[in-house]
Each structure stands twice: as structure tokens, then as C-alpha cells.
């Protein structure tokens, strides 16, 4: 952190050059108490130009990137040691201590080795999981709008430097400490800094010197959130030199690796360890009391049993499966902010989606303009400002007074600019709806620089309009008919037609005169345009009064407007969203459109996309007139909700949840945050979403596309499936080994596996096979299943049956093979090596059965899709071949070389396990409840 004392407090501005950047936070340490012009002067910034690219680069060099230092991380060694802090490991260490007391040093060493290898695997996998999450965190890095070389651009918030002019909108997280130079209705929530959750109103007036942070109303502080209004300001501090940097609080980040599921599994581990301890005591009692087995042998067997029964690899397995899963999801544009969302995603039953940009392309083009008594067609596609405006096939221009006023309004109440890229393609800096209107103005050669804006009321989804007080340019051509008053100052309003009609009392005629408003005729025009799926925007105006030049409020717009006309804008549906909706329906998920747009437009698009079920749209007004009880039925029956405000989303989420639905809700604006928080899965838009919304969401869509939600649901189902498969696979591994030891001791037989051999099986399967499930692809038809019951445990009763049966089966096969060879007179070493290999091979075959948990596994699509599984099987085979044939391993593990005939026995056992499990699955999973909502399959 640089302290003011280390840097000069005044600046010789004459000496400044881009190479020696003038911006120095120390000079503006009391920016809040200075006039903003003075701050700009000291920083040598021209607010209309912002910094030059060179000055920005030099400032970046000098002040460093705008980020806070990473929180201190534990040293790698400490993180490694933490893996020993687990009840399961304590039990293992206890078993190790036991063997040490018995002076069975080989056992002790191998147990310790297992513990260390397990910690190492856990440590490495955790590192990998964290790197995966780190990558996701970086994808969420916020951006900021800065003015560089005279134009506004969006940059990574880390690249914001002192002296930058920044622009702030509702829902933005302030990227740095900013001295405000221009504000409109600005309120900022500063709880991150002051603990005060009521937003504080901000202006450009200097605050008193020495004022407390919360009273510095001329400043916007880094990390705080805009709840309403807009602002421009100059950056006076970045990174550690911000107020938040001084108190060094980290802003909210992606969660850690812990989720309800991992906690549930950790709890399960504890219960299991307790069970193992109880059984161990029973085992010793039984062996000693009933069979009179010597205590040393019993204690050794007990140690082997504990090691066999404990799935020590489980925590690492769950973490890595989850983390790799969310990484795959992020690659497919669904960024998970909370790992726990993975669990919920798989059980989503209703997706409520915005329309504009999510279901539609958000590439808008004005197509038709309707003024009083006249309709104009607009040609051209995209934002390219080239095309014609025609009436009955005749080209028209701005000499038409009505059209001219219409274009003046649409172009001046507009914050968006058309940008021509290097390739010559046109795009926009700002909002697509406004881009379409700018393009329309461009087609008529309207010069919007000639007008000047005095005050602005920004657009909000609540008000559904934008207004500005502006002085109009003089028309270049004399209008036909009666001229309009020229160069005068007017309040110009553009917005949703119904809102503007409600505020209008007159309308503008083609000749530029005003007459009484014919609302019926306008409503017919609006309905006709929206029935074609066009987005309709209206323009209206009134003469400005004195106070309008100072500020504009929504009430101040008044109800005496002159209505000018409406424009129909096309916003084509996304084809991939149409496909995704079909997939969702097949998956038993309802899709609902909740939009701020007109009911007609919404219904037309919903119909084209397969969302509307014929019940039609419910409007925001109807929602308001419905009580919570009735809303539940309404919310279930209808699929289109139009002219809604963000508050309606919250009520809809509640109503749907009351009906037992698991709801995913999308949002982008600041007011959507409560609904997103309330939803089971809040989904924020990555491109047009505000920081506030992203903060409230579980999932952020990097491409704002509905089909990505469907992908996320599918991935959520896949990850959850794989976690379940990993459990259903791993637990019988331990179950079988424990059963073998338990039976042998209980019946006083020779142990089919020495404790060391049990450890071997445990170790090699834990480092190989179990991880195959992190890479397992989705099962076919995963999106034709009904959503999962969110309350159901990950391992359901029928899975428990499978785990128990398979444990007993593998144990039985192992014991039978061992006793058969012993009875046949084989050496103990040979019979034990065989038994160990049977266990391992049975697990390999079982792995392939679990790959399709509830379906038939012996299909190419199940057997060959996961390369990692085969690599793991290869690695395991190598290890096991070493176990059988390497002399030095013979000495360690008391093993012996096996004949090829024995290998056939092991393969036969594996096949038997596979066949029996497949049959078992037929019994367990037959007659599963069909999906009631699924569309008929072709
Ligand atoms: P969705 O909620 O699905 O994103 P939407 O974009 O139509 O749909 P809002 O952004 O709340 O929802 O817009 C509501 C209405 O406000 C629009 O139908 C349009 O008539 C009007 N509108 C949208 N953008 C602007 C704007 N920049 N200026 C003025 N009016 C606008």
C-alpha cells in the first residue's frame, strides 16, 4: 500500500506526458472533499476523452493491476498434513499402531504407506480440483466501462487505472474508488465497506473534509453495488489503494470445495468408522471366545478388517468428481458459483427464463414503423445503418415531420453507439434494442450529434421507459406541411407502448400537428405488430419545463405527452434454444417464459418456440390482481408471463415452489437478485447480467443462452450420476474385503487374504478404478428421465441392496475359490495370491456393470465410451501382474506365481460377478416410474 507521505502531494502538471503519467492517487487522497473539476484537473483528465491508451498502460505499469492480494494460503505441507485429519484415517493409524505393537513390521509399514499414499492422492486431487475452480473464478472476473481515447470500452476490471473515467449502471459492482463527476438518481449499497445495508444516495457535491466513509457521498467505493441510477466518475484509487483494499476484505468469491453432499459423505464416513470399530471388537470377541484363536493372530486380522472396511479414498473421490464436473460444465459455458448447485441442477423441474437474449438472439432490427395513419417498412438486416424506409413502396426521408420527430426521439433517448469493426462488420456498444433504433436513424441519415441532452431518466425494467430532456437539432430540410417548432427543448420519451399511451393525451399527425389521442387505433397497431412476434417500442414527447432541465423523474414525465408512433423490431428466436426446450420437455422439465415484453409479442415467440401450451399469457397486471393462493394454480397452468416486473419473478418462484417444483430462474437486472436467491438454482446472465445478479446466482451463463441452462441441467444430472456410481462401485469393494475377513474369523478359517494383501487390493483400486467415474460420460437418455427427487439420498434403498448383494457375492466368490484351491492341496501362498487376484478382477468387471447403473452394461456405448476407465484398468492390470510375478513383491506380500489356468479362474469369477450383477439390476431397476411429462418418444 502506498502512503501519501512517500509520494509528492502536489504535481507539476506541466511536466506530465503520457510516458510520465500524471494520475497519482496521493494527489487526490481527499478527492471526496474536492470539487470534481479540481480532481479532474489534478489528475489531468479530460472527462470527454478519458485516458489515452498509452497513459492507461503507463498507469497500469506504475500502480499495478486493480486487484486485491489473494488471501494467504496454507503452505503445501500443511495442506498435505490436513489430509490425515479424518476419522477414517485415525482408525487406519490405530490399526497400524496395533500391528506395530505386535511387531508385524511389514503390516505396519504397508498400513502407513496406504495412509500416506491416500493423503498424497487426496492432496494431488484437491490441488487439481482447486485449479479447476480457480479457472472458473477467473471466468467470472468482473469488467468495467471506461473511456479511453474518447470512446467507451469495456475492459477487465483489473485493468482499470487511476485517472480512468468510468461509467456505472444499476447492478454494477464499482470497480475502483471513484470520484463521481456526473450522477442521475444514484444510490449505492455500501455494506461491504460500512456494514450499512440501506443504499446511500450519492451526488457530485464535495463532502466535508474528514467525513466518515459512509458520509462521503461524492464517492463510489470499490466493491460496493449500484442499486439504482447511473453515474460517471474518475478513478482515484485502485487495488490496494482503495478503501476496501485498506480493510482488505475479500469480495464474494466462488465457494470452497465443501458442499452439502461432501458433508453428508463425511458424516457417513464417521458413522462407518464407528461401525467398523464395533465390528472389530465383536470380531475379536468371536474369534477368541468361540474359536480360541490366538490373540496376536486376531489382532492382526482385526487390523486387516479395519483397513478392508474403510473406504479411505472416498473424500478425494467425491471432491475430484465434483470439481472436474463443474470444470466440464464451465467449458460448456455454465459457470457454477456454488458447487452445491450441481446437486440441485439434476432435480430441476421448472426452468423460468427471460426472453430477450436468452430465448431470442438479441440481435434486433427495426422492421416496421407506424405513425398516425401511416405505416413504413424498413429494409436492411443487422445493425448495418444501410437500408431504406418506404411507405407504399416509395422511399421517405426526414422531410416527413412525423418520421423526423420519431427518429429524433428514438435516437436521442439512446445510450448506444453503432461501431464498425475492423472487418467492416457493424456491432453495437450498448443495448441491442437501442442499437436497432440507432441503425434505423442511420438509414435515414439522421445526425444525432447535432442534438444535446440536458438530463436523463435511465431505462429501468420497472418503469419500462427512458426519457431525456434535449435540445433538438435544426432540421436540414424544410418539412412538408406545417413546420414543427425547431431547435427547441423537449422531454423525449421512448418505452413500452402501453406505458407511453397511458401517459399521452394527444398524438402527432403526419403533418406535424397535434390532435386528440386515438388509443384504440394505436392498440390495434400494437397488437398487429406483436402478433407477428415483433418487439414494439413507442415514442412520445412534450415541451420541456424549467425543472426538466435540472432533473427528470418518472413522475416528472407526466401524463400530457404527445404520442408519435411505434416501431416493430424483430428479434429472432435462437434455434438452439428451441431444441433445448424440446429436450427439457422430454426430461420432464417445464419451461416458462417470464418477460418484460408485451403479451402479444411474448405469446407469438413462445408459440414459435414450443413454450406456449395454448393457455396464453398472463400479464404482470393480472399477477398483481391474483392472491398467493390462486397464483399457484396460475403459475402451474400458464407458461408465458408478460409485462412483468422483477418483483413478479419472486412471487412466481414462491408459487411454483409451493407446488413442489424445483425452480431454476434466470435474471440479469439488479432487481432480479431476490428471485434468483429464492430460486433453487439462480441463473445469471454472464454477458448482460449485472454483478449483483451474478453474486446472487448459483450458475452464471457465459453466453446468456437458454440452451446452456439445459446443458447445465444435463451436466448436473451426469455429475450426480457419477458420484452415485462412484459410491455404488467403491463401497462393495470395501464391503467384500471386510466380509471375507469377517467370515474367516467368525468361522475360524484360514484368512483367504493376509491383512497386507487386503491393503494391496485397497490401495491399487483406490488409486486407479475409482477415479474412472470422474470421467464417465452421461448415460444415454439421461435427458429422458424424470427429474430426481431433491430430498432423496444419493444412494437410495435399491442401491444399498445392490451394494450389499455385490459385497456378499464378491466375498463368496473369493472365499469359495480360496477354499476350493486349499482343499485341492495348493500352497497357501498360491491360494491367497489367487484370492487377492479374484477380488481385484471381480472389481474390474463390476466397474463395467456400474458404468450403466440401472441399465444393461454390455453395450459398446457403455463399454467403450470412457477412455480413462480403460487406462485405469490397464494400470491396474500392470500392478496386479507385478503382484503375481515380481519376486520382490512376493517377499513383501507373501505371494506366489500363478499358472495361466488360475488366471482363467479369476476371469471366470469376474464374468460371473458381471452376469449376476446385470441380472440383479434387472430385478432392482425394472418397472421404474415412467416420466409423466415426457413427450412421446419418436
Ligand atoms: P426480458 O424480460 O425477457 O429480457 P424485455 O427485454 O422485453 O424482456 P425489459 O427489459 O423489462 O424486458 O423491457 C420491457 C419493455 O420495455 C420492452 O418490451 C420495451 O417495450 C421497453 N424497453 C426495453 N428496452 C428499452 C430501452 N432501452 N428504452 C426504452 N424502452 C425499452
CATH at residue 444? 3.40.1110.10
Q: Report which of 314, 23, 288 is spatially closest to residue 160, judged by C-alpha positions.
A: 23
pLDDT of residue 6: 36
Q: Which of 110-119, 364-373, 648-657 is the least confident region? A: 110-119
Would you place residue 89 in the very low, low, confident or very high pLDDT band (cuts 50, 70, 90)?
Answer: confident
Kindly report the average pLDDT of the chain as a whole number.
86
Q: Which atom of ligand 1 is closest in space to residue 431's alpha carbon?
A: 27
The reported pLDDT for the residue numbered 820 is 95
Residue nearest to atom 17 of ligand 1 (CA): 597
Cα–Cα distance, 728 to 347 (Å, whole number):
20
Q: Same domain, yes or no, for 600 and 729?
A: no
Q: Can you tell me the mean pLDDT for 910-922?
A: 94
CA 711 to ligand 1 center in whole angstroms: 27
Mean pLDDT of 624-638: 95
Bigger pLDDT: 197 vs 457: 457
Atom of ligand 1 nearest to the CA of 535: 18
The reply to whether 821 and 891 lie within a common domain is yes
The stretch 631-643 carries a mean pLDDT of 95
Mean pLDDT in residue range 126-151: 78
297 C-alpha to ligand 1 centroid (Å): 78
* Angle, vertex CA 524, rays to CA 519 and CA 525, nearest 5: 100
If DSSP states are collapsed to H, E and C, what string results for 63-86?
Answer: HCCCCCCCCCCCCHHHHHHHCCCC
Query: φ and ψ at 711, to 5 degrees?
Result: -60, -45
Distances (CA, A) of 834 to 819, 828, 897: 11, 10, 9
Q: Is residue 349 in a domain?
A: yes
Any residues with Cβ below 6 Å from ligand 1, and which? 354-356, 431, 433-434, 459, 461, 464-466, 494-496, 535, 537, 595-598
pLDDT of residue 20: 45
297 to 283, 302, 752, 832: CA distances (angstroms): 12, 8, 14, 17
In a domain, 159, yes or no: yes
Cα–Cα distance for residue pair 1/318, rounded to 1 Å: 41
| pLDDT of 627 strictly over 70 | yes
**Rounded CA separation 723/702 (Å):** 25
Is residue 527 annotated as a catalytic residue, yes or no?
no
Q: How far apart are CA 88 and CA 86, in angstroms?
A: 5
568 burial (CB, 10 Å; 0-12 / 13-18 / 19+) is: buried
Pair (547, 609) in one structural domain: no
131 falls within a domain: no
Q: How far is the CA of 618 from the centre of ligand 1 (A)?
A: 17
Is the pLDDT at 849 greater than 80, yes or no?
A: yes
Cα of 816 from ligand 1 centre, angstroms = 73
Pocket test for ligand 1, best of 230, 351, 356 (most atoms within 8 A of CB): 356
Cβ atoms < 10 Å from Cβ of 891: 10
Residue 52's alpha-carbon distances to 18, 48, 178, 752, 780, in angstroms, are: 8, 11, 18, 78, 55
- In this structure, what DSSP letter does residue 51 have? B
Q: Which of 252-266, 331-345, 553-567 comes out lowest in average pLDDT? A: 252-266
For residues 833 and 693, membership in a common domain is answered with: no
Better-scored residue on pLDDT, 806 or 257? 806
Identify which of 495, 594, 621 to mutate to test ligand 1's pocket (most ligand atoms within 8 A of the CB): 495
Atom of ligand 1 nearest to the CA of 415: 27
Mutate-to-test residue for ligand 1 from 171, 417, 461, highest number of ligand atoms within 8 A of CB: 461
Q: How far is CA 862 from the centre of its chain?
A: 29
Residues 6+ apart with CB under 8 A from 416: 428, 429, 430, 431, 434, 435, 437, 438
Q: Give the lowest-confidence range in 147-151, 308-312, 898-902.
A: 308-312
Mean pLDDT of 142-164: 90
Q: What integer is the mean pLDDT of 138-144?
A: 75
Whole-number Å distance, alpha carbon 786 to ligand 1 midpoint, is 34
- Block residue for cell numbers 417500442: 537
CA–centroid distance, 433 to ligand 1, in Å, is 8
pLDDT per position as a tens digit, 530-540: 999 999 999 99
Which of 496, 594, 623 most suits a substitution to test ligand 1, by most atoms within 8 Å of the C-beta? 496
Task: Residue 408: name the closest of 545, 293, 562 by CA.
Answer: 562
In angstroms, what is the span from residue 873 Cα to ligand 1's centroid?
56
27, 177, 241, 354: the catalytic one is 354
Same domain, residue pair 354 and 372? no
How many percent of the chain have pLDDT more than 70?
A: 92
Q: Which pLDDT score is estimated for 542? A: 95
- Which residue among 703, 736, 769 closes a domain? 703
- The x, y and z cell numbers of residue 765, run together, are 483400486
Calculate mean pLDDT across residues 865-880. Answer: 93
Lowest mean pLDDT among 15-19, 104-108, 916-920: 15-19
pLDDT of residue 1: 34
Pick the residue whose CA is nearest to atom 29 on ligand 1: 495
Nearest CA to ligand 1 atom 18: 597
| pLDDT exceeds cutoff 80 at 479 | no
d(CA 464, ligand 1 centre) in Å: 6
Average pLDDT over residues 98-103: 83
What Cα–Cα distance (Å) separates residue 467 from each residue in 229, 434, 456?
Answer: 13, 13, 6
- Judgement on whether residues 432 and 450 belong to the same structural domain of the protein: yes
Cα distances (Å, whole numbers) of residue 545 to 455, 554, 620: 12, 15, 33
Residue 86, in any domain of the structure? no
Residue 12 has pLDDT above 50, yes or no: no
Residue-wise pLDDT for 668-713, tens only, equals 888 888 899 999 999 999 888 888 888 889 899 999 999 999 999 9
Higher pLDDT, 6 or 846: 846
346 & 470 share domain: no
Any idea which of 238-242, 520-524, 791-795 has the lowest mean pLDDT?
Answer: 791-795
Q: Is there a domain that residue 787 lies in?
A: no
Domain that holds residue 304: 278-332+712-778+795-924
| pLDDT for position 308 | 81
Q: Report which ligand 1 atom has the smallest distance to the Cα of 434.
A: 27
Once rounded to an integer, what is the mean pLDDT over residues 444-458? 84
Indicate whether 452 and 369 sit together in one domain: yes
Average pLDDT (608-636) is 93
Q: What is the pLDDT of residues 810-845, one digit of tens each?
A: 999 999 999 999 999 999 999 999 999 999 999 999
Pair (207, 346) in one structural domain: no
- Range in 21-25, 45-49, 87-91, 840-844 the model is least confident about: 21-25
What single string gives the DSSP state of each residue in 701-730? ETT--HHHHHHHHHHHHHHHHHHHHHHHHH
The pLDDT value recorded for residue 507 is: 96
Query: For residue 462, how far is its CA from the centre of ligand 1 (angstroms)?
Result: 9
Domain presence at residue 136: no
For the CA of 668, the closest atom of ligand 1 is: 4
Return the ∠ at Cα 85 (arms to 119 and 284), rounded to 5°: 90
Residue 600 domain-assigned? Answer: yes
Of 529, 555, 570, which one is at a domain's C-terminal end? Answer: 570
Residue 256 is predicted with a pLDDT of 53
Shared domain for 548 and 666, answered yes or no, is: no
Rounded distance from Cα 461 to ligand 1 centre (Å): 6
Is residue 84 included in any domain, yes or no?
A: no
Please count the structural domains in the chain: 4
Task: Give the per-residue pLDDT at 928.
Answer: 56
For the cut 50, the answer to whether the pLDDT of residue 933 exceeds it is: no
Name the least confident of 15-24, 675-684, 746-755, 831-840. Answer: 15-24
Contacts of 100 (CB under 8 A, 6+ apart): 108
pLDDT at 71: 63
Domain end marker among 651, 669, 703: 703
Q: How far is the CA of 896 from the centre of ligand 1 (A)?
A: 77
Return the pLDDT at 495. 96
DSSP state of 773: G
Residue nearest to atom 13 of ligand 1 (CA): 596
- Of ligand 1's listed atoms, the one at least distance from the Cα of 536 is 20
Closest CA to ligand 1's atom 19: 496
Q: Are residues 344 and 316 in the same domain?
A: no
What pLDDT, on a 0 to 100 scale, did the predictor assign at position 11? 35
Q: What is the pLDDT of residue 681?
A: 93
Cα(46) to centroid(ligand 1), Å: 34
For ligand 1, atom 1, the nearest C-alpha belongs to 595
854 shares a domain with 749: yes
Shortest-distance atom of ligand 1 to CA 461: 11
How much of the chain, in percent, has pLDDT values that exceed 90?
47
Grid coordinates of 827: 500352497
CATH code for the domain in which residue 193 is found: 2.70.150.10
Where residue 586 sits, what CATH number does that domain have?
A: 3.40.50.1000
Which residue minimizes the CA distance to atom 31 of ligand 1?
Answer: 495
Helix (H, G, I), strand (E, B) or coil at 909: helix
Q: Which of 494, 537, 600 to mutate to test the pocket of ligand 1 (most atoms within 8 A of CB)?
A: 537
CA 645 to ligand 1 center in whole angstroms = 10
Amino acid at each position: 500500500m502506498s502512503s501519501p507521505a512517500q509520494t509528492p502531494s502536489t504535481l507539476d502538471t506541466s511536466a506530465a506526458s503520457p510516458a510520465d503519467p500524471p494520475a497519482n492517487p496521493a494527489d487526490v487522497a481527499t478527492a471526496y472533499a474536492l470539487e470534481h473539476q479540481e480532481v479532474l484537473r489534478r489528475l489531468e483528465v479530460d472527462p470527454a476523452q478519458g485516458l489515452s491508451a498509452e497513459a492507461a498502460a503507463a498507469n497500469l505499469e506504475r500502480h499495478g493491476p486493480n486487484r486485491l492480494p489473494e488471501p494467504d494460503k496454507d503452505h503445501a505441507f500443511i495442506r498435505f498434513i490436513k489430509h490425515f485429519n479424518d476419522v477414517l484415517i485415525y482408525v487406519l493409524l490405530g490399526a497400524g499402531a496395533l500391528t506395530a505393537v505386535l511387531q508385524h513390521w511389514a503390516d505396519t509399514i504397508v498400513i502407513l504407506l496406504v495412509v500416506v499414499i491416500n493423503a498424497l492422492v487426496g492432496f494431488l486431487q484437491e490441488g487439481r480440483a482447486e485449479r479447476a475452480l480457480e479457472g472458473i473464478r477467473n471466468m467470472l472476473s468482473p469488467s468495467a466501462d471506461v473511456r479511453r481515447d474518447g470512446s467507451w470500452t469495456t475492459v477487465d476490471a483489473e485493468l482499470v487505472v487511476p485517472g480512468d473515467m468510468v461509467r456505472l449502471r444499476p447492478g454494477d459492482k464499482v470497480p475502483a474508488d471513484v470520484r463521481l463527476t456526473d450522477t442521475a438518481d444514484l444510490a449505492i449499497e455500501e455494506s461491504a465497506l460500512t456494514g450499512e445495508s440501506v443504499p446511500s444516495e450519492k451526488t457530485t457535491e464535495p463532502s466535508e473534509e474528514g467525513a466518515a466513509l459512509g458520509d462521503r457521498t461524492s464517492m463510489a467505493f470499490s466493491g460496493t453495488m449500484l442499486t439504482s441510477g447511473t453515474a460517471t466518475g474518475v478513478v482515484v484509487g485502485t487495488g490496494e489503494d482503495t478503501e476496501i483494499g485498506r480493510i482488505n476484505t475479500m469480495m464474494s468469491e466462488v465457494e470452497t470445495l465443501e458442499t452439502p453432499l461432501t458433508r453428508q459423505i463425511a458424516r457417513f464416513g464417521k458413522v462407518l468408522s464407528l461401525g467398523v470399530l464395533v465390528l472389530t471388537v465383536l470380531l475379536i470377541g468371536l474369534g477368541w471366545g468361540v474359536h480360541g484363536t490366538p490373540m496376536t493372530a486376531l489382532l492382526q486380522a482385526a487390523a486387516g478388517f479395519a483397513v478392508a472396511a474403510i473406504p479411505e479414498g472416498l473424500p478425494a473421490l467425491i471432491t475430484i468428481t465434483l470439481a472436474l464436473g463443474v470444470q466440464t460444465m464451465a467449458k460448456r459455458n455454465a459457470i457454477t458459483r456454488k458447487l452445491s448447485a450441481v446437486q440441485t441442477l439434476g432435480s430441476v423441474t421448472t426452468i423460468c427464463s427471460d426472453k430477450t437474449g436468452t430465448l431470442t438472439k438479441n440481435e434486433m432490427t427495426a422492421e416496421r414503423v407506424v405513425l398516425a395513419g401511416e405505416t413504413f417498412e424498413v429494409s436492411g438486416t443487422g445493425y448495418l445503418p444501410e437500408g431504406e424506409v418506404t411507405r407504399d413502396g416509395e422511399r421517405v426521408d426526414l422531410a416527413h415531420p412525423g418520421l423526423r420527430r420519431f427518429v429524433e426521439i428514438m435516437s436521442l433517448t439512446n445510450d448506444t453507439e453503432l461501431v464498425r469493426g475492423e472487418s467492416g462488420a457493424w456491432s453495437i456498444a450498448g443495448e441491442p434494442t437501442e442499437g436497432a433504433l440507432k441503425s434505423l436513424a442511420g438509414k435515414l441519415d439522421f445526425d444525432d450529434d447535432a442534438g444535446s441532452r440536458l438530463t436523463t431518466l435511465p431505462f429501468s425494467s420497472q418503469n419500462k421507459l427512458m426519457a431525456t430532456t434535449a435540445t433538438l437539432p435544426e432540421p436540414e430540410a424544410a418539412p412538408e406541411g406545417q413546420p414543427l417548432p425547431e431547435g427547441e427543448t423537449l422531454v423525449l420519451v421512448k418505452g413500452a407502448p402501453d406505458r407511453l399511451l397511458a401517459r399521452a393525451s394527444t398524438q402527432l399527425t403526419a403533418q406535424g400537428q397535434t390532435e386528440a389521442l386515438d388509443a384504440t387505433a394505436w392498440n390495434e397497431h400494437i397488437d398487429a405488430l406483436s402478433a407477428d412476434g415483433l418487439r414494439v417500442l413507442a415514442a412520445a414527447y412534450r415541451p420541456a419545463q424549467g425543472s426538466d432541465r435540472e432533473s427528470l423523474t418518472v413522475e416528472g414525465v407526466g401524463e400530457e405527452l404527445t404520442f408519435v408512433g411505434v416501431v416493430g423490431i424483430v428479434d429472432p428466436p435462437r434455434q438452439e434454444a428451441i431444441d433445448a426446450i424440446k429436450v427439457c420437455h422430454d426430461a420432464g422439465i417445464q419451461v416458462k417464459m417470464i418477460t418484460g415484453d408485451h403479451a402479444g409479442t411474448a405469446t407469438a415467440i413462445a408459440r414459435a418456440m414450443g413454450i406456449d401450451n395454448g393457455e396464453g399469457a398472463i400479464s404482470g397486471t393480472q399477477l398483481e390482481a391474483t392472491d398467493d393462493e390462486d397464483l399457484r394454480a396460475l403459475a402451474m397452468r400458464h407458461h408465458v408471463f408478460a409485462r412483468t416486473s422483477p418483483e413478479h419473478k419472486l412471487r412466481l418462484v414462491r408459487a411454483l415452489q409451493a407446488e413442489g417444483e424445483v425452480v431454476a430462474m434466470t435474471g440479469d437486472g439488479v432487481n432480479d437478485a431476490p428471485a434468483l436467491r429464492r430460486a433453487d438454482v439462480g441463473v445469471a446472465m454472464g454477458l448482460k447480467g449485472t454483478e449483483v445478479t451474478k453474486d446472487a446466482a448459483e450458475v452464471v451463463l457465459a453466453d446468456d443462452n437458454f440452451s446452456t441452462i439445459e446443458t447445465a441441467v444435463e451436466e448436473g444430472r451426469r455429475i450426480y450420476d457419477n458420484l452415485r456410481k462412484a459410491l455404488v462401485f467403491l463401497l462393495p469393494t470395501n464391503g467384500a474385503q471386510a466380509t471375507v475377513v469377517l467370515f474367516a474369523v467368525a468361522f475360524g478359517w484360514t484368512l483367504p487374504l493376509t491383512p497386507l494383501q487386503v491393503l494391496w487390493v485397497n490401495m491399487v483400486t483406490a488409486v486407479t478404478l475409482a477415479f474412472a467415474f470422474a470421467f464417465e460420460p452421461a448415460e444415454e437418455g439421461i435427458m429422458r428421465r424424470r427429474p430426481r427427487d431433491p430430498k432423496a439420498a444419493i444412494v437410495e434403498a435399491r442401491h444399498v441392496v445392490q451394494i450389499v448383494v455385490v459385497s456378499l457375492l464378491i466375498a463368496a466368490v473369493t472365499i469359495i475359490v480360496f477354499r476350493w484351491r486349499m482343499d485341492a492341496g495348493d500352497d497357501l501362498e498360491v491360494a491367497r495370491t489367487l484370492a487377492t487376484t479374484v477380488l481385484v478382477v471381480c472389481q474390474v468387471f463390476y466397474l463395467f456393470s456400474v458404468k450403466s447403473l440401472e441399465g444393461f452394461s454390455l453395450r459398446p456405448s457403455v463399454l467403450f465410451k470412457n477412455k480413462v476407465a480403460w487406462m485405469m484398468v490397464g494400470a491396474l492390470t500392470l500392478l496386479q501382474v507385478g503382484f503375481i510375478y515380481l519376486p520382490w513383491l512376493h517377499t513383501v506380500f507373501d505371494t506366489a506365481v500363478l499358472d495361466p489356468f488360475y488366471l482363467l479362474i479369476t476371469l471366470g469369477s469376474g464374468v460371473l460377478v458381471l452376469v449376476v450383477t446385470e441380472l440383479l439390476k434387472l430385478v432392482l431397476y425394472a418397472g421404474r416410474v415412467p416420466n409423466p411429462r415426457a413427450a412421446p418418444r419418436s
